[in-house]
Structures are given as C-alpha cells and as structure tokens.
C-alpha cells in the first residue's frame, strides 16, 4: 500500500488535523512535565535540506530524538542529490533505509516526485509553494490562546508566498475567512484562489483587510531563492508592514504571528516583534510539538499499513 504523506494541509482531513493539534498540545504538556516520550526507538528520519533552516531543522531533529528515534541531515551539497542523481532514484534508495523523510526544497513538484517513489511517508518541510508544517504550529498556537479558529477572520498582510498559500489551505481545512492584502503583482496562485473563493479574498489595502480580524499574519518580503529581488520588493511592500497601527484595526484580543526568520522594521515592526505578550516565540516553539504529533501520526500509519 502507498504510504501516507504530508505534502500540503489537504493531505489530512479537518478531523485528523484537529486530532493532530490536540495531540501536539498533549505532547507539549508532557514534554514540559518531563514525560518519557520515546515511542519510536530505532526509527530514523531522513531530512533533506536544499534551503537553509533553523527552526525546521532543530524542531525535527530534537523532536525525533525526544520520540526515541534518530534524525539524519542530508544536504544536496554533500549527497548525490546535488550532482544530478534523479529525485526518483534518490527517493527509492533513501526510503529503503529510513522510516520517514522530510524535504525542504524549491519546486513543489520535487516533493511530489519524491513522494511517488518513496516507500515511506514524506513530509513537506517548505517548498516555493507551501509550508504546511508551519501552519500546524500556527493553528496550535491560535487554539492554545484563543480556542477554535473556526468562523474567525484571519488577515494576511504581505507577499502571496508559500506561507500565504498555506493559509489559503488552512482557511479551508480549519474553516475560517482569510483576507489577503498584498501589493499588486504579488498575489498568490490564481487557481488556488479560484478554488477557495468562498472563504478567501484578495485586496491591496492592509487597513481594510485587518479591520475586525482575529489574527494578523505576515512573512518576509523576499523568500529564499528571491534574494536578488530584495531591494525592488522592499519598495513595493513598504506600505504592507505589520505594526501597532495596523493592529489597532483588528478585533479586541487579536493575535499576530510571523513564522520567522523576520526582518524587524520591514515586514514587521520591532515593537510587535519584541512585545512581551507576543505569541511569535511560542509559535516557533510549537513547531517542535506539532511536528512530533505529525511524526507520530505518520509512523503509526506506516506501522498499521
Ligand atoms: N519558520 C521556519 O520554517 O523557519 P526556518 O527557515 O528557520 O526553518
Ligand atoms: N516565505 C519564507 C518562509 C521561511 C520560513 C521563505 O520561503 O523563505
């Protein structure tokens, strides 16, 4: 039987995602209480990173160790992946030796092709199109502070990038309204928008999108791979900063998030980043707990297949 993968949020049903977030919070409480969570001795996670990472690498590697297994860092610079070995051949070989694989890369088609040839579950740890693991942490964080996000309004301010597109999928799976405010020309994928037009809208006015929102979210203006566009983007995105003034338009008690790494004074003001009640740091920590719940779900599904 083909293994279960997590390439986008759509790979799990809304009910499965809810259960996963419950489990993530349970694992978090247990971890903080010093619980022994080593359920998967001898299991190995292969981690393929074609782009840089701090949070994703640390959370997957620490998480796998806490679950009793082992994580192996694989970079295209020093594996045959960087010398042109076909993705399909690499997937076949790597998955014959490990129990689960996570991949961070450029084109989303690369993780899809890897998954087709993999005999074990594959996790998308960020592509140019989607970053579903971050959404697990964001949704866990919202729920822990404010309860269910169903029926709420989320405002995305900034680039229509991989994070924004994952918020579009999240709007569907977690049942909220998403208002996107981006500069003209930086909208998310048109087909993805068209498929979610019942709950996702796009405009170019951050203040209008933020009005009454329960959650404001932003991300860098130039993603990994777009470094050469940094300066041009900074001009186009200047009116799209998440700051205290924008937050005053949101609903009382609104939260704000950023997946990090951030540029203080660009997409988010230093004041919000460093506010004592910011949940951004807990959002980052929740990557650990949410991904442990994800690893557990995928390893259990493989064991029961
Ligand atoms: N948010 C996130 O994925 O961070 P890293 O790029 O550091 O992994
Ligand atoms: N949109 C950013 C997210 C980093 C976690 C990027 O792809 O670089």
User: Measured from the CB, is residue 90 less than 6 Å from ligand 1?
Assistant: no
Categorize the per-residue pLDDT at 305 as very low, low, confident or very high, splitting at 50, 70 and 90: confident
Q: 260: CA distance to ligand 2 center in Å?
A: 8
pTM over 0.90: yes
Q: Each residue of 112-127: pLDDT tens digit? A: 999 999 999 999 999 9
Using alpha carbons, list the distances in angstroms from residue 219 to 114, 182, 240, 242. 27, 11, 11, 9
The CA-based angle 118-122-124, given to 5 degrees, is 135
Is 199 part of any known ligand binding site? Answer: no
pLDDT value at position 138? 99
Q: Which ligand approaches the C-alpha of residue 220 most closely?
A: 2
pLDDT at 7: 99
User: Residue 262 C-alpha to ligand 2 middle, in angstroms?
Assistant: 10
- CB atoms inside a 10 Å sphere around CB 305: 10
Query: What span, in angstroms and rounded, lies between the C-alpha atoms of 71 and 52?
Result: 17
Rounded to the nearest angstrom, the distance between the alpha carbon of 223 and the centre of ligand 2 is 5
CATH number of 5-131+286-304: 3.40.50.1370
Burial of 141 (0-12, 13-18, 19+ CB in 10 A): buried
CATH of domain 134-284: 3.40.50.1370
287 is in an annotated binding site: yes
Closest atom of ligand 2 to CA, residue 159:
1
Ligand 2 atom 7: the closest Cα is on which residue?
Answer: 223
Domain boundaries defined on the chain: 5-131+286-304, 134-284
Tell me if domain 5-131+286-304 and domain 134-284 are identical in fold. Answer: yes
Q: Say if residue 231 carries a ligand binding annotation.
A: no
Asked if 301 and 121 touch (Cβ cutoff 8 Å), the reply is yes
Dihedral of the alpha carbons of 258, 259, 263, 269, in degrees to the nearest 10: 10
pLDDT digits over 43-91, tens only? 999 999 999 999 999 999 999 999 999 999 999 999 999 999 999 999 9
Mean pLDDT, residues 248-275: 98
Supply the pLDDT for residue 1: 81
102-107 CB contacts, 8 Å cutoff, 24+ apart: 102/45, 102/46, 102/47, 102/48, 102/56, 102/60, 103/48, 103/50, 104/48, 104/49, 104/50, 104/51, 104/53, 104/56, 105/48, 105/50, 105/51, 106/50, 106/51, 106/225
Cβ atoms 149, 143 nearer than 8 A = yes
How does pLDDT run across 191-231, given as a tens digit for each residue? 999 999 999 999 999 999 999 999 999 999 999 999 999 99
Q: What interface predicted TM-score (ipTM) does this complex get?
A: 0.99
Q: Considering the chain, what is the average pLDDT of its residues?
A: 98
Return the closest-CA partner of residue 254 out of 210, 286, 287, 208.
Answer: 210
The percent helix, strand, coil of the chain (3-state, each to 5) is: 50, 15, 40
């Amino acid at each position: 039987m083909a293994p279960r993968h997590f390439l986008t949020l759509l790979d799990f049903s809304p009910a499965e995602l809810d259960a996963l977030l419950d489990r993530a919070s349970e694992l978090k409480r247990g971890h903080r209480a010093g619980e022994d969570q080593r359920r998967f001795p001898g299991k190995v996670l292969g981690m393929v990173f074609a782009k840089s990472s701090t949070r994703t690498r640390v959370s997957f590697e620490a998480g796998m160790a806490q679950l009793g297994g082992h994580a192996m860092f694989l970079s295209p610079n020093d594996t045959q992946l960087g010398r042109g070995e076909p993705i399909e051949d690499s997937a076949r070989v790597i998955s014959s030796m490990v129990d689960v694989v996570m991949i961070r890369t450029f084109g989303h088609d690369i993780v899809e092709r890897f998954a087709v040839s993999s005999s074990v579950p594959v996790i998308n740890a960020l592509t140019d199109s989607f970053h579903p693991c971050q959404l697990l942490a964001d949704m866990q964080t919202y729920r822990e502070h404010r309860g269910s996000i169903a029926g709420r309004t989320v405002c995305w301010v900034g680039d229509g990038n991989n994070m924004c597109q994952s918020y579009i999928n999240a709007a569907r799976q977690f049942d909220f309204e998403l208002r996107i405010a981006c500069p003209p020309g930086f909208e998310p994928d048109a087909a993805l928008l068209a498929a979610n037009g019942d709950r996702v809208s796009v405009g170019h006015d951050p203040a209008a999108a933020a009005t009454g929102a329960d959650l404001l979210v932003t991300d860098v203006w130039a993603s990994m791979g777009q470094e050469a566009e940094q300066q041009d983007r900074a001009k186009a995105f200047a009116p799209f900063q998440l700051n205290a003034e924008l937050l005053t338009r949101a609903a009382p008690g609104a939260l704000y998030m950023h997946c990090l790494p951030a540029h203080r004074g660009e997409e988010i003001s230093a004041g919000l980043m460093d506010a004592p009640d910011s949940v951004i740091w807990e959002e980052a920590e929740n990557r650990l707990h949410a991904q442990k719940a994800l690893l557990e779900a995928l390893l259990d599904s493989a064991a029961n297949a």
